[in-house]
Amino acid sequence: MQPVVQFKNVNKFYGTQAAVEDLDLAIDAGQFVTLLGPSGCGKSTTLRMLGGFEDPTSGEIYLDGKPISHLPPNRRNVNIVFQDYALFPHLSVMRNIAFGLELKGLAQDAIHRRVTELLSLVSLADYAERMPAQLSGGQRQRVALMRALAPDPNVLLLDEPLSALDAKLRQQMQIELKSIQQKTGKTFLFVTHDQEEALTMSDVIVVMNKGRIEQMGGPDELYARPRSRFVADFIGRSNFIEGKVVSVSGNIASLDWQGNIIHADVNGTSPATDKVVTVALRPEALYCLTEKPEGRLALKGRITGRVFKGAHTSLTVTLENGTSLLVQLDPVALSHIDGDDVWIGWRERDAVLLAD
Amino acid sequence: MKTYFNDLPKTALGASYWLFAVYLVLPLSLMMVMSLKDANFIAFPINSWTLDWYAKVLQDRQFINASLYSIGIALATTVCATIIGVWIALLISAENIWGKAAIFALACLPAVVPGLINAISMRIFIRALDIPTGTFAIVLAHTVHAVPFVVIMVLTRLRSMPANLVDAARDLGADPFIAFLRVTIPYLMPALIGGMIFCVLTSIDDFVRTFFLGGYQPTLPMLIFAKVQGGMSPEINAMATIVLIVTTIVGLYAEYFTRRSRS
Amino acid sequence: MVDTTMQPRTVTSTAPPRYAGWIGRTVNSALYRNTIGLLASNRWVRLAVLAGVPLIWIAALHLGPILQMANISFLANYPPRPGVDSGYTLENYGFFFSDRLYFMPFVRSLIFAAVVTVSTLVIVYPVAYYVAKVVKPKNRMRALLLLLIPFWAGELIRTFSVIMLLANRGAVNVLLRELGFIDRPIPMLYTFFSLSFGVVYLLALYMLLPLYSAIEKIPTPLIHAASDLGAGPFQRFRRVILPLSKDGIVSGCSLVYLTTIGVFAAPLLLGGPNAVIFPEVIATLFHGSNDKWPEGAAFSMLMLAVSLTTVGLFMRIVGGRSVRLM
């Protein structure tokens, strides 16, 4: 199947400053794709290039197979939900949603049918005559979403639309956004710096850093198998340890880590022997026991810090070799621990080798 | 408040305010009262009241003609100044325009040049272009004078406009021209109405430019000037009172709108 | 693509919706597409339309007249007549210094403008302060509006009302005589006093608004803090309020000064033979029987240069950031 959106070797420079470099990205129809990254990583520029508000310096963008890089925004069939919604303050909710339809030259009753349909989709039928200033943040968000959906775009672009909402409302809107995407079957391209939003809603996450794609994949894949240190750190939290490769057999590499032999998943890399590599360990993948287990990896350490976080507790464990590891325990696991001396270990496949 | 301000300065400030208010209001109210006096000179006390002066003024063809002429000039000025003012403001607020500060300074120039010099330079200018003195010259001069104020009012409003409103319109399929008509203009409306009323009032009030550029037909200020030079009479009082009441109503309306545009 | 999942719903609002159908029809019409639509989508055309009219207007009508005036001020004769020298000369400027009748009114004008500016500042400052800081916020607009209303009356009407107040048969003299203080009217009109009184009356607003907005912006806690630290009313004013309202003072004074210099109708009506100021002199050069345009232009240039330099120097010395025109 032909991808809906395709970036081919796209570069964007501001002067000599690269905002986006060598971007190759294909987005399949009907998917919820998230561009995730810190501010300044090029995700918004990518979105604005697709929307038509920035010209790529080089490369080509295709929408439904047709090159669109140099078309003005009004001649591209994509619509944006802006960060602060950009609702027209002088138009009622209805007229805001109808804006794109009016420009298409639709008949009155066709416009009206579409607007009513969309309003009922987000249960705002009773607010049709209100002005944007009379709506709450969540309602404005929904109106902006419906306004962008109204002209039936090939792709809906969402530019950090949830960042202005408070935490509770944001979670609610995440669920609603996902369900609207599923109901309408539209392709959503969502831009955010919030990893939780990305993990909750996306089919595919594209992690960007310094104008380049770091890694692309499903949320579970990115979480469990981060390819780079940046991804491992940006999505969730990780412990990083560096060891020298001793041997590799199949998918498992054996490493020398300050005198201990540990095992880790090669994670698609092909490490050479004697090379120093980085391993990422999720805090919740570590086990923590009061007695040395038999036949399993176990390193002796001492709890030097505890932070209670409600559903779980974060422990800082300082090992005998001086390294500190972050361990995350649920209340059940925590209840088995008394005293500060512990043994730490992990399953081989939970430790992943990073490419950098 | 009371603990911080001891009462003496506060009372003095209050007194200064009320004295100032009296200073501003007294001459005008005196004028209004005198317009009702049943005698053709000013004296106290007023023994009998009359509305005859008003009747006389309202039947005065000269007054009516001058008023209509002034209103016509003011409306023409307003239309021109608004269009050009908005245009200049749009240019200044646009991105990637080189020399913005200089354009802004030059756009404001006529507001800083003393009125007399403005009028004289315009007189010289139209003579160089062979434009006769008269209605067109007056409208031109009034427009030049009013443009800076429109520019400033519109720019202030434009600065408060979220940048992505126009982007949103473009995104939904509007070309730049339609986006301007459907989004920018409605957003500017309060500033435009405020600016237009300002143009009308300054144009109707202007004396010096009309004095240098006018033809034989007198505008309202020219008429009042001629009458005042002729000496005091309750008729002028009545005429001035009518003008005062009308302009005040228009002015209050302008206040209401500019205030709305600021909020 | 049709969303089959969406349930069509009946209209819930009673009022029939009114959408702008004409926009779609216009935008999608061939006529529009081939004219404005085509032009609007071209970036260079857009830039030309955006910049063309404003730049031409500003160059022709904001700069043009001043430049033409400057040009004429150096001409020996204008308009050029056959047989008469029409080359460039500095004589018109020399003419100004040749006669006391010219430069005395000029000096008087400058002094007059300075006096008016300072008096307006002194009179209006406490008023602006009172409205901005002492009046309760909910009454503030009303207090300001009471002062604004008289200004909508217009220049001539206000000048006329001042005449009514100060004339020999005006209200003040009539009142004083009725009360028995004087036998003969005090001549107040057609003097320097009546002129200043009138011009202050005309221009107080230009001082009031900038001062008010500057003082209103001073955070009240700052003034409280100063008195908390032991500053008396005078110290508070001198060390806190005055420096913080500097912007307003600069814009107010500049506006009043520039407007006073160019004020025209008021001197004709309120000033007498002893209070002739420069604008009248210039006007006679243009309107009198002896048409002396080059001299008039030179005088205007002098006035413009001196007034703008004065304001410029003032702003530089006091150090205001910018003149706000509103």
Does residue C324 have a pLDDT over 70? no
CB contact under 8 A, C152 and B248: yes
A153, closest residue in chain C (CA to CA): C1
How does residue B143 score in pLDDT terms, banded at 50, 70 and 90?
very high
How far is it, in rounded angstroms, from Cα B27 to Cα B32? 9
Give residue C32's identity as a one-letter amino acid code.
Y
How far is it, in rounded angstroms, from Cα C196 to Cα C271? 9
Give me the residue from C50, C149, C262 closest to B116, CB to CB: C262
A101, closest residue in chain B (CA to CA): B172
Q: Which of the residue ranges A80-89, A315-324, C160-169 has the most confident prediction, judged by mean pLDDT?
A: A80-89
Q: What is the mean pLDDT of residues A224-239?
A: 88
How does residue B72 score in pLDDT terms, banded at 50, 70 and 90?
very high
Chains A–C, number of C-beta pairs less than 8 Å apart: 66
Render A102-167 in DSSP notation, one character per residue: HHHT--HHHHHHHHHHHHHHTT-GGGTT--GGGS-HHHHHHHHHHHHHTT--SEEEEESTTTTS-H
The predicted structure's pLDDT at residue B108 = 87
CB contact under 8 A, A108 and C1: no
Say which CATH topology domain B53-262 has.
MetI-like fold (1.10.3720)
CB contact under 8 A, B172 and A53: no
How far is it, in rounded angstroms, from Cα B41 to Cα A241? 103
How far is it, in rounded angstroms, from Cα C134 to Cα B6? 12
How is residue A271 written in tokens?
């490490």
3-state helix, strand, coil in chain A (%, to 5): 30, 35, 35
Q: When comparing pLDDT for A3 and C289, which is higher? A: A3
The predicted structure's pLDDT at residue B3 = 46
Q: Return the ∠ at Cα A114 (arms to A91 and C12), rounded to 5°.
A: 75
The predicted structure's pLDDT at residue C289 = 58
Does residue B262 have a pLDDT over 70? no
Q: What is the mean pLDDT of residues C250-267?
A: 86
Give me the residue from B27, B41, B228 closest to C269, CB to CB: B228
CB contact under 8 A, B17 and C145: no
The predicted-structure confidence for A147-185, as pLDDT tens digits, reads as follows: 998 888 889 999 888 888 888 888 888 998 898 898 888
The predicted-structure confidence for B93-107, as pLDDT tens digits, reads as follows: 887 777 888 888 888
The predicted structure's pLDDT at residue B177 = 84
The predicted-structure confidence for C90-104, as pLDDT tens digits, reads as follows: 777 887 788 777 778
Domains in chain B: boundaries: 53-262
How far is it, in rounded angstroms, from Cα A134 to Cα B260? 17
Residues of B with a Cβ under 8 Å from any A Cβ are 162, 164-165, 167-175, 178, 182-183, 186-187, 189
The predicted structure's pLDDT at residue C288 = 63
Radius of gyration of chain C (CA): 29
Task: State whether residue C290 sits within 8 Å of chain A by CB.
Answer: no
B179, closest residue in chain A (CA to CA): A74
Does residue C275 have a pLDDT over 80? no
User: B92 near B104, Cβ under 8 Å?
Assistant: yes
Residue B212: C-alpha distances to residues A207, B120, C83, C195, C230 (Å): 71, 7, 29, 22, 58
To the nearest whole Å, the CA of A80 is away from the closest chain B CA by 7
Lowest mean pLDDT among A71-75, A315-319, C66-70, C279-283: C279-283
The CATH number for C91-318, chosen from 3.30.1490.20, 3.40.50.150, 1.10.3720.10, 1.10.10.10, is 1.10.3720.10
How does residue B76 score in pLDDT terms, banded at 50, 70 and 90?
very high
CB contact under 8 A, B255 and C148: yes
The predicted structure's pLDDT at residue B141 = 92
Q: What is the mean pLDDT of residues C236-240?
A: 77
The predicted structure's pLDDT at residue A289 = 82
The predicted structure's pLDDT at residue C224 = 78
Does residue B263 have a pLDDT over 60? no
To the nearest whole Å, the CA of B129 is away from the closest chain A CA by 43
Spell out the residues 6+ positions from residue C181 whose beta carbon is closer than 8 angstroms to its own: none
**Average per-residue pLDDT in chain A?**
86
Count CB atoms within 10 A of the CB of residue A281: 23
The predicted-structure confidence for C121-141, as pLDDT tens digits, reads as follows: 999 988 888 888 888 888 888
The DSSP element (H or E) to which B170 belongs, if any, is helix B164-171
The predicted structure's pLDDT at residue C6 = 43
Chain B residues with beta carbon closer than 8 angstroms to that of C50: 87, 90-91, 94
The predicted-structure confidence for C145-170, as pLDDT tens digits, reads as follows: 888 888 888 888 888 888 888 887 77
CB contact under 8 A, A84 and B169: no
Spell out the residues 6+ positions from residue C120 whose beta carbon is closer than 8 angstroms to its own: C200, C203, C204, C207, C252, C256
CB contact under 8 A, A151 and B173: yes
Radius of gyration of chain B (CA): 23
Report the interhelical angle of C137-148 vs B7-34 (nearest 10°). 40
Give residue A164's identity as a one-letter amino acid code.
A
Chain C residues with beta carbon closer than 8 angstroms to that of A73: none
Chain C residues with beta carbon closer than 8 angstroms to that of A95: 19
How does residue C120 score in pLDDT terms, banded at 50, 70 and 90?
very high
Helices marked H in chain A: 43-51, 93-104, 108-121, 137-149, 167-184, 195-201, 219-224, 229-234, 331-335
How does residue C14 score in pLDDT terms, banded at 50, 70 and 90?
very low
Residue C94: C-alpha distances to residues C104, C280, C295 (Å): 15, 19, 9
Task: State whether residue B189 sits within 8 Å of chain C by CB.
Answer: no
A109, closest residue in chain C (CA to CA): C17
Touching A: C residues 38-77, CB under 8 Å: 41
Task: State whether residue A184 sits within 8 Å of chain C by CB.
Answer: yes
- % chain A with pLDDT above 90: 6
How does residue B71 score in pLDDT terms, banded at 50, 70 and 90?
very high
Chains sharing 3 or more CB pairs under 8 A with chain B = A, C
Domains in chain C: boundaries: 22-73, 91-318
A50, closest residue in chain B (CA to CA): B171
C29, closest residue in chain A (CA to CA): A105
Does residue C321 have a pLDDT over 80? no
Q: What is the 3-state secondary structure (H, E, C) of chain C?
A: CCCCCCCCCCCCCCCCCCCCHHHHHHHHCHHHHHCHHHHHCCHHHHHHHHHHHHHHHHHHHHHHHHHHHHHHHCECCCCCCCCCCCCECCHHHHHHHHCHHHHHHHHHHHHHHHHHHHHHHHHHHHHHHHHHHHCCHHHHHHHHHHHHHHHHHCHHHHHHHHHHHHCCCCHHHHHHHHCCCCCCCCCCCCCHHHHHHHHHHHHHHHHHHHHHHHHHHCCHHHHHHHHHCCCCHHHHHHHHHHHHCHHHHHHHHHHHHHHHHHCCHHHHHHCCHHHCCHHHHHHHHHHCCCCCHHHHHHHHHHHHHHHHHHHHHHHHHHCCCCCCCC
Q: Return the ∠ at Cα B111 (arms to B108 and B116), rounded to 5°.
A: 140
User: A199 near A235, Cβ under 8 Å?
Assistant: yes
- % chain C with pLDDT above 90: 4
Phi-psi sector, A236: left (phi>0), alpha (psi -120 to 50), beta: left
Does residue C109 have a pLDDT over 50? yes
Does residue B4 have a pLDDT over 70? no
CB contact under 8 A, A103 and B171: no
Give me the residue from B162, B167, B172 closest to A99, CB to CB: B172
Which of the 8 DSSP states describes residue A218?
Answer: -
Chain A residues with beta carbon closer than 8 angstroms to that of C5: 183-185
Give residue A159's identity as a one-letter amino acid code.
D
Q: Scan for tokens 């317009």, then name that residue.
A: B35
Three-state DSSP class for B232? Answer: coil
How does residue C13 score in pLDDT terms, banded at 50, 70 and 90?
very low
How would you classify the pairing of strands A78-81 and A276-281? unpaired
Spell out the residues 6+ positions from residue A50 whose beta carbon is closer than 8 angstroms to its own: A5, A7, A61, A63, A76, A78, A155, A157, A189
Report the interhelical angle of C278-287 vs C100-129 (nearest 10°). 130
B176, closest residue in chain A (CA to CA): A74
Three-state DSSP class for A57? Answer: coil
Q: Return the ∠ at Cα C14 (arms to C13 and C15), rounded to 5°.
A: 95
Which of the 8 DSSP states describes residue A225?
Answer: S
Which of the 8 DSSP states describes residue A272?
Answer: P
Chain B residues with beta carbon closer than 8 angstroms to that of C269: 225, 228-229
To the nearest whole Å, the CA of B197 is away from the closest chain A CA by 22
How far is it, in rounded angstroms, from Cα C160 to Cα B141? 25
ipTM given for this complex: 0.83
Among B186, A109, A142, A116, smallest CA distance to C19 is for: A109
Does residue B260 have a pLDDT over 80? no
CB contact under 8 A, A74 and B170: yes
Residues of A with a Cβ under 8 Å from any B Cβ are 51-53, 72-74, 78-80, 82-84, 86-90, 99-100, 103-104, 147-148, 151
Spell out the residues 6+ positions from residue C143 whose beta carbon is closer than 8 angstroms to its own: B17, C130, C131, C135
Three-state DSSP class for A271? Answer: coil
Render A236-268 in DSSP notation, one character per residue: S--EEEEEEEEEEETTEEEEEETTEEEEEE-TT
Does residue B80 have a pLDDT over 90? yes
**Average per-residue pLDDT in chain C?**
79
CB contact under 8 A, B170 and A52: yes
How does residue A292 score in pLDDT terms, banded at 50, 70 and 90?
confident
User: A62 near B141, Cβ under 8 Å?
Assistant: no
CB contact under 8 A, A88 and B169: yes
The predicted structure's pLDDT at residue B73 = 94
Residue C102: φ, ψ to 5°: -95, -50
Bridge partners, residue A301, by sequence: A319, A342
The predicted-structure confidence for B24-40, as pLDDT tens digits, reads as follows: 888 888 888 887 877 66
**Dihedral, CA of residue B87, residue B88, residue B94 and residue B96, to nearest 10:** 130
Domains of chain A, each with CATH number or no CATH: 5-232 (3.40.50.300), 237-353 (2.40.50.100)
To the nearest whole Å, the CA of B160 is away from the closest chain A CA by 12
The predicted-structure confidence for B160-206, as pLDDT tens digits, reads as follows: 888 889 999 989 888 888 888 889 999 988 888 888 888 988 898 88
To the nearest whole Å, the CA of C49 is away from the closest chain A CA by 18
The predicted structure's pLDDT at residue B44 = 58
